[in-house]
Amino acid sequence: MIKALQKALGYQFQNPALLTMALTHPSTKQPDNQRLEFLGDAILEFCVSDTLYHKYTGFQEGALTARRAALVCERTLSVLAHSLDLGRCLVMGNGEELTGGREKPSILADAVEAVLAAIYVDGGYEAVREVIFRLFQDEDKLVAPKVKDDKSALQEYTQAHEMGLPTYRIIDATGPDHDRQFVAEVVIMGRQMATGKGQSKKSAEQMAARAALKRCQDEE
C-alpha cells in the first residue's frame, strides 16, 4: 500500500519512515502525525497561495483568498485523500478504526497535510511544490460546486478576464414607498453593460449583474 501511495503521489521517499509517521494517527501509541500535520498546514497554504497568485493574474485579494480557502478546506482535502486511497494506508488504534476513522474527513484531511509535510522534510520545498501542483491541478473536480450570487459571479468573470471591477449605480426609482421599483446599471471598464430592475436596490443590482455576465459571455 505504501508503494502504491508513493506512486499516486508521484514521489519516492528517501526516508520511508517519514511517510509512515505521516500516516500514523494519534490514537496509536506510536510516534504520530500531529507535528507533521502542523507543518503541512502551513506548507499547503503557502504553496497554494503561490500557485493561485501566478495562475489567476486578474484576481484581486478577495477572490484569491476565497479560492484558496476552497482548496485547503477539510472537504477538499478529504476528497483528495479518497483519490489517493489514503484511508487504507492509515495506522490507527482499534477504537478509532471501529468508529469509521478511515473515512472521517477530519482525519483524512490531517493525513494529507502530514504527508505533504513529510515530503517537504524528505525532499525540500521544490519536491513538495511539484506534488501539490500536480495534485491540485484539476481544481474544479476537487472543489465542491458552490452557488454564487450574480454580482460575485460577474466579479469573478471580470477579474479572470482582466476587466477590472464592475461598478453599480441606481439610475431610477419609481412607485410608492410600499411598492418601489429600482433600476440599477452596471459599468465595466467605463462601459454600461446592462441594467436591471428590482424591488430593492440590492435585487436591482443582482439583476443587472446577471444580464451583464450573459452579455460578456455572449461577446466572447
Residue 10, sorted as left (phi over 0), alpha (psi -120 to 50) or beta, turns out to be: left
Q: Which of 32, 37, 110, 113 is catalytic?
A: 113
Q: Which three cell numbers stand for residue 216?
A: 460578456
Question: 41 an active-site residue?
Answer: yes
Q: What is the dihedral sign for C-alpha 202, 207, 213, 215?
A: negative
- The closest alpha carbon to 211, from 173, 185, 191, 182, belongs to 185
E-only strand ranges, 116-201: 167-174, 181-188, 191-198
CA angle 51-56-58, nearest 5°? 150
Identity of the residue numbered 83: S
Q: Which of 37, 41, 110, 122 is catalytic?
A: 41
Question: 113 an active-site residue?
Answer: yes
Concatenating the DSSP letter of every residue in 14-27 gives SSHHHHHHHTB-TT
Instruction: Point out the residues that are catalytic.
Output: 41, 113
